[in-house]
Structure 1
Amino acid sequence: MFVPLHDTNPLKKIRFQYVTVGLIALNVAVFAIFQTGWFIPLAEEDVTAFAVVPAQLLANAGGETAFFATGAVMVPERLTLITYMFLHGGWIHLIGNMLFLWVFGDNIEDAMGHVRFIMFYLMCGIFAASAHILMMPHSDLPLIGASGAVAGVIAAYLILHPKVKVWVLALWRIPIRITAAWALGIWILIQFASLLFQSEDAVAWWAHVGGLVAGAVLILFMRRRGVILFDRTRGGA
């Protein structure tokens, strides 16, 4: 497994990746403020109210709402298709997703512009959750995490910049420099292999695959005019 560290793929159209940084800050803030219990502790039932629970969402498809355990806040079930993206199961889950978003998100934001990128990110996350619901409609396990949306970013980056060199940690400890095609291609293969051989795992592999498909399709239509596919630029690293 590769952990991305850095790519030298300079921005061409935007001055700064405001949306990427904002998404990372929001994810970290939600986790630190609510889920760690350091500031505003939430009960497990409260966190689940913001997660996607396939069986519950389909049962309430008519528009009913889920409730906080305290009953103080109402959370429309359909809104959980967005809120689930900003919750994580632990620091490792959070840091892993945010590393991928930090390394690869800025260039996708550059290829689309700020507004289109936030739309792209949310659409990938929604499609990821929808794929998970479609394949596991009776599951009562909560789906949380930005993995589906980040998978869309990964697919888009692979289609735009497969030749760019990236520094990664192989096996969590060995720094090596390889092309994005290898780093991200292996990550994608792991998702499909896990789907086939670890179907009972707690990881929502279908959400990852759904995000990948969404990102690969959306980048074709949402990129700026003139942004080419499968750029041959290698960059540095």
Structure 2
Amino acid sequence: MRTPQAGNPTRPPRNPPVNLPGAVLSALGILFAIFLVQEYFLSYATNLIVWRDFGFMPARYVHPLGEQDLAWLWSPVTYSLLHGGWAHIIFNSLWLAIFGAPVARRIGAVRFLALWVTSAAASAFFFAAVDWGAVAVLIGASGVVSAYMGAACRFAFAGRGGLSPYAHLNRRLTIPEVFADRTARAFVIIWLLGNLLVAVGVSLAGVSAGEIAWQAHIGGFLFGFLAFPLFDVKLPHTLGY
């Protein structure tokens, strides 16, 4: 009896245990590395300083917190790398893996990073516009994750009825086409409605407006949804783009 040899074309291909794009895996690695350092190597007092100096604060743009306070330069991005607890980072990581993966496969690592940076800033300043001058500190990647959700709505549901391994190959939908598609329309409406309910004080699954930055979520989602064509790539004509 002959044993199968290496390279036998009849042997089914081996799928990697974690089938995520490198950009998403790198992002998750950075988020968890930063969180673990804060969780296990920094004291609570030191973490307060980290959150103050790298978290986003609307008050920073009304009256500076000190003569040497330059955090207004980097905090619109660095806040998205910080998290306040295990539930916070795990929840954001799950949604990042689900919706960041098709976006990363479609636009590549460089544009994925560019979308991260710009959507983080857009989410932060939408938060600031709603609560201008607030001393509250915004941290977490949820605004960026929301932007990837909004971006995915422009292509991931096109004619597929839901996310698939090949969703990144779908053609980009126009905004009217998104709302004409039953699955995409339902996702957008339910997502926005959920955040608006939290905004008016309705607790969903035990989460209230005081515990979730719904302003950053909506700002990020709208940015990803509306600005995605600026980051998108042109697919081959044979795919109907």
> What is the TM-score with the length of structure 2 in the denominator?
0.71
Distance 1:106 1:202 in 2: 27
Alpha carbons of 1:182 and 1:60: their partners in 2 closer, same or farther (altered >3 Å)? same
Aligned partner of 2:41 in structure 1 is 39
Change (3 A) 1:16 1:103: closer
**How far does residue 164 in structure 1 lie from its aligned partner after superposition?**
4.5
Q: Partners of 1:131 and 1:16 in 2: how far apart?
A: 30
* 1:147 equivalent among 142, 150, 157: 142
Deviation at 1:28? 0.7
* Aligned residues of 2:156 and 2:162 also touching (Cα < 8 A): no
- Matched letter for residue 228 of structure 2: I
Instruction: Please name the residue that 1:219 is paired with.
Output: 228
Percent identity reads: 25
Q: Of the candidates 94, 99, 107, which is equivalent to residue 102 of structure 2?
A: 107
Q: Do the aligned partners of 1:120 and 1:218 also contact (CA within 8 Å) in 2?
A: no
Task: Give the aligned partner of residue 165 of structure 1.
Answer: 162
Residue 156 and residue 225 in structure 1: after superposition, are their counterparts in 2 closer, same or farther (change >3 A)? same
4+ aligned runs moved over 6 Å, structure 1? none
SS at match of 2:153: helix
Match of 1:5 in 2: none
> In the alignment, which residue of structure 2 is the partner of 1:94?
89
Give the drift of 1:64.
5.0
Larger radius of gyration: 2
RMSD of aligned C-alpha atoms? Answer: 2.9
Residue of structure 1 equivalent to 2:10: none
Corresponding position of 1:190: 194
Residues 23-62 of structure 1 mapped to structure 2, 5 A cutoff: 23-34=27-38, 36=39, 38-41=40-43, 42-60=46-64
Aligned partner letter, 1:165: G
Q: Which has the higher helix share?
A: 2
Q: Offset of 1:217 from its aligned partner?
A: 1.6
Structure 1 residues 227 and 208: CA distance shift in structure 2, 3 A: farther
Amino acid at match of 1:88: H
Instruction: Check if 1:131 corresponds to 2:131.
Output: no
Unaligned segments of structure 2, at least 5 residues: 1-18, 165-182, 203-207
Structure 1 residues 182, 133: CA separation in 2 closer, same or farther (over 3 Å shift)?
A: same
Whether contact under 8 Å (2:58, 2:135) holds in the other structure is yes
Asked whether the equivalents of residues 107 and 157 of structure 1 are also in contact (C-alpha less than 8 Å), the reply is: yes
1:20 paired residue number = 24
Counterpart residue type for residue 213 of structure 2: A
Corresponding position of 2:180 = none
Asked if the contact 2:51/2:137 (under 8 Å) is kept, the reply is: no
TM-score (structure 1 length as normaliser): 0.72
Aligned residues: 194
Query: Which of the pair has the greater relative contact order for Cα pairs under 8 Å at 6+ separation?
Result: 1
The unaligned stretches of length 5 or more in structure 1 are 1-14, 67-74, 168-178, 232-237
Cα 1:132–1:25 change in 2 (3 A) is same
Change (3 A) 1:100 1:65: farther
Residue 203 of structure 1, aligned match among 193, 198, 212: 212
Counterpart of 1:175 in structure 2 is none
Residues in 2 aligned to 1:80 and 1:130: alpha-carbon distance in whole angstroms: 11
Q: Distance in 2 between matches of 1:194 and 1:227?
A: 42
